[in-house]
Amino acid sequence: MIASYALLSIAAHAVEYRLPTNGNSVVGENQYYVVPEGKTTLEAIAAKFQLGLTNMMQANPGVDPYLPTPGSTLIIPHQLILPNTKREGIVVNIAEMRLYYYPKNSNSVTVLPIGIGQVGRDTPENWVTKVYRKRANPTWTPTKNTREIYAAKGVTLPDVWPAGPDNPMGLFALYVGNLFALHGTNADFGIGLRVSQGCVRLRDDDIEHLFNSVPVGTRVEFINQPVKVAEESNGGRYVEVHEPLSRTQEEFESNEPVMLELDRKVTRFIAHAETDSFVIKRLLEQRTGMPTRINP
């Protein structure tokens, strides 16, 4: 039984968890949702529960993303292992397409789903920076490379896209590097997918919440942790496995699973004498993105 570190709230703008104590890292609880009658999509359900599309697809393999079967029961993956890094400011784990915000002088963490860069326009990883500035109603200045990509599709982009609801940057932006930002979007899809030109996209309510909550100067860290582990104070040892990001277009378009590369810490954790080899083998194959206990 996992110690209860509560999911404090699921609001229109965020999922908030109370931070665990005693060195623990597992938070939240999974929920279940019965698909209602009538037309709906997995994206609409993901948005309802503040998740990205990939989070829902990993937790519910085989479900039709465009027309999930009415009356079927879906897992809402709200239990997770906090990333193995400093719990300060903003942490972006590109592998699970989630953003973690640890407000200063708070005993909570806010978790938001994100969209990240396409293959070849990858969102950064292993990078520590900060929020340099914030802007409401941002303009968009496409790079030369971006204009060339659109031109190849027959689309001519302006030098500067004016602010407004049709702007691909959305209505709010937090700039964390040279021409790099956490921002909104003018699309009604793409959260939990690799769709951007490299920046981090959030739904409208989520980016507005960050804009209003995150001070300029806040630390921002980008990591790539498809496998997260946790040893809890009750003796439980947990592993959470996500599908790793494709590194090439060929890999992205393949039906074969991407090879998991386990770092030394994860390898040592899994090699523990108490690990159930059947459970860990299943986890590494299924990659559901949900924490699972691997010891008796």
Positions annotated as catalytic residues are 183, 199
At 151, which helix (H) or strand (E)? helix 144-152
Which of the 8 DSSP states describes residue 126? S
CA dist 85 and 249 (Å) reads 29
Q: How many CB atoms lie within 10 A of CB 284?
A: 15
CB contact set of 149 (below 8 Å; sequence gap of 6+): none
Residue from 27, 29, 16, 26 nearest 77 by CA: 29
Which of the 8 DSSP states describes residue 92? E
